[in-house]
Amino acid sequence: MAGNDQGWRRPHGGRRGGDDYLGTQGLGHEDWNFAKDVWNDGRYHLYLRSTPAGFDKGQFNFVLGAHASPSPMVVGFVENTTYGVSKLPEQVLLRRAQEVFALNEDGSLGSIYARLSVDQIAARLKREADDYRVSVAPQDLHILAQPVPMPTDIYKVAHPGYRALPMTAVQFAAIKERVLSNDTAASVDQDEDTSFPEGLLVEKLHRSRERSRRVVELAKKLFIEKNGRLCCEACGLDPEKHFGSSKMRNRIIEAHHDVPLSDDKHEGATKVSDLRMVCPTCHRAIHTMRPWLTVKELRKLLAQRR
């Protein structure tokens, strides 16, 4: 439905510049599709545009996709969904407003939101929530550890827009079976050479998150022990010094795979030593530029431009 480096859990910086809503405002409501919000009914509520006729009758299954070049990507599956406009709890709206407001720190927020306070952003998000139309139980939301190409021999995406496209039950089952066939379990030890199974596809939401979180947390822990604090290995940004606040110490720095999980060179296991620490801007730049740059290559490129 829309590409998002943060796994649809929150907005992130570095996306302004295009002529669509995301490019002008720096965020999209689909950013929170996979957010673990506290809903009154215990279900996930997803943002969906242009629902087809008859969508309010019965239950549905979806293949969730991201429009990408050269081919669309599968990012997950939603099963047994029900249709109906959702009402966001006030505490969720306020937290989301704070996440949006934080984008002002690096100039990643568009003009409509940039001039608003947190409370005003919350009020605007509430008015704009009419497209939270899909409700799903946690056990029926399956997120992949890494997007994979849509198997075009089973289904061809016929429209590039953000909308629900028709798919038969047979096609859905075939795509799910093929994509999830490589699921595997993870084991964890506490040293830098430990291999963490990643990039292979997982079916359950909590398995995907736990697997990637362990290797990232250990990588950050060892980086801090070695360097004293988290900083960007590409541009050198130190959040505490850059923002002049001790509260930013070891914040916002993200773990990046120098070899993409979807790359043929990736063997299905990630070591802590495979990860690099980068700021959100450099992380976004690496994922945007083609061919894919390593952190070392981006560091050299930035040094040449100084």
Q: Give the per-residue pLDDT at 279.
A: 92
Q: Give the per-residue pLDDT at 170.
A: 96
* pLDDT tens, position by position, 106-122: 788 888 888 899 999 99
Residue 224's pLDDT band (cuts 50, 70, 90): very high
In sequence order, what E strands does the chain have?
44-47, 60-66, 73-83, 132-136, 141-149, 195-197, 254-257, 269-271, 275-278
Q: Give the per-residue pLDDT at 226.
A: 92
The whole-chain average pLDDT of the chain stands at 78
Say if CB 77 and CB 204 are below 8 A apart: no
- Residue 252 and residue 249: Cα distance in Å, rounded? 9
Q: Give the per-residue pLDDT at 231.
A: 95
- Residue 182 and residue 223: Cα distance in Å, rounded? 31
Residue 6's pLDDT band (cuts 50, 70, 90): low
* pLDDT tens, position by position, 92-110: 888 889 889 888 877 888 8
CA 241 vs. chain centroid, Å, equals 27
- Mean pLDDT, residues 42-53: 75
- Residue 206 and residue 186: Cα distance in Å, rounded? 12
* pLDDT tens, position by position, 50-107: 666 666 667 889 898 877 767 788 888 989 988 877 777 888 888 889 889 888 877 8
Q: Give the per-residue pLDDT at 23.
A: 84
Residue 269's pLDDT band (cuts 50, 70, 90): low
Name the pairing type of β-strands 254-257 and 141-149: unpaired
Residue 253's pLDDT band (cuts 50, 70, 90): very high
* pLDDT tens, position by position, 165-175: 888 999 999 99
Q: Give the per-residue pLDDT at 91.
A: 84
Inform me whether the pLDDT recorded for 201 exceeds 70: no
